[in-house]
Structure 1
Amino acid sequence: MNDFYQKLAAIRHDIHQNPEISEREYNTTEFLKGYLAELDIHIVEDDLKTGVIAEIGHGLPVIALRADIDALPIKEKTGLDFASHNGAMHACGHDFHQTSLLGAAEILKGMEPDLKGTLRLFFQPAEEVSKGAYQVIEADGLKDVSAVIGYHNYPHFKPGQIGLRSKAIMAAVEKFTVRVSGVSGHAARPDLGADTVLAITTMINSLQAIVARMTSPFEPTVLSVTHIEVGSTWNVMPKDGFFEGTIRSFDPAGRATLRQRFNKIVENTADQFGVDVAIDWGRTPTVTYNDETLTPLIFENSKRFADVFEVEPLSIGEDFAAYQEQVPGVFALIGSNGDEGAADLHHDTYTVKDEALETAVTYYVENAQLLLDYFASKG
């Protein structure tokens, strides 16, 4: 690596060693503001508690570049010289993301007189809890924006590789909690109560029919119940219980249908067993859906500096999708490790390779210019 990327690697190591979890990225925010100020990059005044919005260039069009900055509440076990010791960890590589956007910002600032518009930088908080993109939007981050680009590092691709596709690249995420209330009583006389345990287990079994019998086999869908709590002893029918889990899907139009089918099964089962039920749907990302016009442009442009190929969609979610609901957006997967057996995202031994930074920085720089030129030509 040349001196510039060695500097960026050192910055990433420092960020990695001092991670902060979602909505508590206070020191990270101050560091980012200070670094951008030293580059004489304009920091936008906003209502964000954490995170930074900054701008390079002037006038229209406006293209947004996004990187997330939060870490996870995971105890790191990588053994790295710069490993975190504060109980949190950049186990999803957001240290890599924000460092690459800082590097791109430095390069693009040097090109500012020649930019055909404005580049708006989102150093976004709280991606891991699916709140940060909405916070940036509520802070008017998308005002006048023509398009937004971002990426996620991907440990199963090598440095220098970029995976991309039009349409869905990451799944819509549903988080559901179902609370059931019956009538408690003695386990020897279930006829005198309303059996919460039986109602919950029947709901869970019946919900699997959504994937197995109600969804096209050509539309990948996952429904997982991951947490159940009901009852406290062997001879008492409990009054209350709940279960929660997730649905993952890739068809934006079918997302509402999945929820409707879920609600109907749960409510009909509750009626069958004479229990009350409440369903809560969390605020979670929709499909990360790459714009069908801009994605081929970025795909071809990125071939100039990377090995670019079409990927299958991932069943994980991304709140970058919130931006794409408002403006055209493109989200890529950039290789960050590639070793056989490399730890997956959110693992306590997750690592990325510093040599992948050059591709990530160049992805921002080259495609930011491409999109400015594209929208400027449209007037």
Structure 2
Amino acid sequence: DVPLKTGVVAIVKGKEEGPVIAVRGDIDALPIQEETDLSYKSKVKGKMHACGHDYHLTSIIGTAILLRDNADKIKGTVKLIFQPAEEIFSGASHIMESGVLDDVSLIFGIHCTREFPVGTVGIREGSVSAAVDRFKIELKGFGTHAAHPELGKDPIVAGSNLVTSLQTIVSRNINPFSVGLISVTHFSSGNTWNVIPERAIIEGTVRTLDKNQRKFIKERIYNVTKYISEAYQIEEKIEWITGPPAADNDREWSEFAKKVAEKRNLTVKPSEETLGGEDFAFYQEKIKGVFVHIGTDKSYPNHHPKFKINPEALSLTSGFLAELILEAGEELNERK
């Protein structure tokens, strides 16, 4: 039993005791109206799997069937995670908090990619996604008539200065050979042409691969906001939403996964480097793991209403995962 509102953890037990290995597939949908011509397109208005999560969960079901049919070859236990809430970066942490993975020694995860054809898998050692943080800054000035700015404290001028100053944190504080990103994505203030408003809202995201840089950039955002606010004599308030850390593939097990893929006549290429986020990273904070990208042919990009994958990838994915889990179990047993 797993104390989750949504999501399922299925268990396949082998004939003998041994290590516990997990594999994760995410299952959540997106608030998008599907525009494909598929016979199996979403039946729920305004919602679709536009990021391959239906493919992920189907592949994991296929993996479960293959493992069940080969349970006599399993020396240990396999836990198959059908995880909710990946898109909002909270599902993996809830699974971890439930305790269901406390005995897991190794975990694998997958995601489809349009960058590779069917029959190609992407496996990268080390960082495969970025740590994701979100910020919301509220600037409070003093509203006044636009003809008399001297009587107010203008949050728009302060906010404009702040936006440009935030862009210098990476360019003037981070080693050019390192990776860090600050994107301001929302700036709103006022609602008419002849009033200097009282408030301004600035929102954005921070992406990093290094823990120290993540901490440093957060501190700099707080300091820059504080001193610019003081300079313009306005008040500031920052809401910081911490997302997943950077997903980091275990080097040894990445090489192991590559060998299994090649054994199944799959083409292996390095996964694309990305500053996108992936909450599989929460598992990797506690458990050695490998996150694999599976080629599903060219299509519309993720989160597009016409997104779809080549279904020929399903059986290849299930077969690869099943063999990867079986061989990893044998390897772990040999290391006892």
Q: Is the 8 A contact 2:260 2:320 kept in 1?
A: no
Looking at structure 1, the residues matched to 213 and 328 of structure 2 have their Cα atoms a distance apart, in angstroms, of 30
Q: Establish whether residue 325 from structure 1 lines up as the match of residue 273 from structure 2.
A: no
Aligned residues: 332
**Shift, 1:55, TM fit:** 0.9
Pick closer, same or farther for the CA change 1:81–1:54 going to 2, 3 Å. Answer: closer
Deviation string, structure 1 residues 336-358 (Cα, Å, up to 9, x no partner): 113xxx21111111110000112
Structure 1 residues 228-307: aligned runs within 5 Å: 228-305=187-264, 306-307=266-267
Partner of 1:66: 24
Cα shift at 1:193: 2.0
Q: Which amino acid aligns with 2:22?
A: A
Task: Give secondary structure in 2 for the equivalent of 1:143.
Answer: coil
Query: How far apart in 2 are the matches of 1:351 and 1:199?
Result: 45
Which letter does structure 1 place at the counterpart of 2:155? T
How many angstroms apart in 2 are the aligned matches of 1:60 and 1:193? 70
Q: Is the 8 A contact 1:337 1:351 kept in 2?
A: no
SS of residue in 1 equivalent to 2:5: coil
Alignment-mate amino acid for residue 373 of structure 1: E
Say which of 358, 363, 368 aligns to 2:315: 358
Alpha-carbon distance, 1:247 to partner: 1.8
Match of 1:151 among 91, 110, 126: 110
Q: Does 1:113 align with 2:72?
A: yes
2: distance between equivalents of 1:209 and 1:227?
18
Asked if residue 78 in structure 1 is aligned to residue 15 in structure 2, the reply is: no
Kindly indicate whether the alpha-carbon contact (under 8 Å) linking 2:180 and 2:213 is maintained by their aligned counterparts in 1.
Answer: no
Name the amino acid aligned to 2:12.
I
> Which letter does structure 2 place at the counterpart of 1:76?
E
Give secondary structure in 2 for the equivalent of 1:296.
helix
Partner of 1:376: 333
Q: Secondary structure at the match of 1:96?
A: helix
CA distance in 2 between counterparts of 1:291 and 1:199 reads 45
How far apart are residue 184 of structure 1 and its match? 1.5
Q: How does 1:198-237 map to 2 (within 5 A)?
A: 198-237=157-196
Partner of 1:14: none
Separation in 1 of the partners of 2:242 and 2:207?
Answer: 14
Read off the aligned partner of 2:96 and give its amino acid letter: I
Tell me by how many angstroms 1:303 deviates.
1.1
Moved more, 119-128 or 364-373: 364-373
Alpha-carbon distance between aligned partners in 2 of 1:73 and 1:106, rounded to the nearest angstrom: 30
Provide TM-score, normalisation by structure 1: 0.84
Which residue of 129, 139, 144 corresponds with 1:170?
A: 129
Cα distance in 2 for residues equivalent to 1:82 and 1:159: 20
Relative to the length of structure 2, the TM-score reads 0.95
Match of 1:23 in 2: none
Seq. identity, %: 37
Secondary structure of residue in 2 paired with 1:150:
strand
| Aligned position for 1:57 | 13
Task: Please identify, of 254-263 and 183-192, the stretch whose mean Cα deviation from structure 2 is larger.
Answer: 183-192
- Cα offset for 1:90? 0.7
Amino acid at match of 1:257: F
Partner Cα separation in structure 1 for residue 232 and residue 332 of structure 2: 58
Q: 2:83: which partner in 1? A: 124
Amino acid at match of 1:53: V
Q: Which runs of 5+ in 2 are unaligned?
A: none
SS at match of 1:303: helix
- C-alpha contact 2:63 2:319 (8 A) present in aligned 1: yes
Note the alpha carbon deviations across 1:183-241, whole angstroms, 9 max, x for none. Answer: 11222222222211111111111000022222222223332111111111122221112
Q: Give the secondary structure class of the aligned counterpart of 2:263.
A: coil
2:95 paired with 1:136: yes
Deviation string, structure 1 residues 315-365 (Cα, Å, up to 9, x no partner): 211110110111111001100113xxx211111111100001122112311
1:70 partner SS? coil
Specify every segment of 5 or more residues in structure 1 that has no aligned partner in the other structure, as ranges: 1-44
Q: 1:344 aligns with which of 290, 301, 318?
A: 301
SS in 1 for 2:312: helix
The higher-RCO structure (CA 8 Å, 6+ apart) is 2
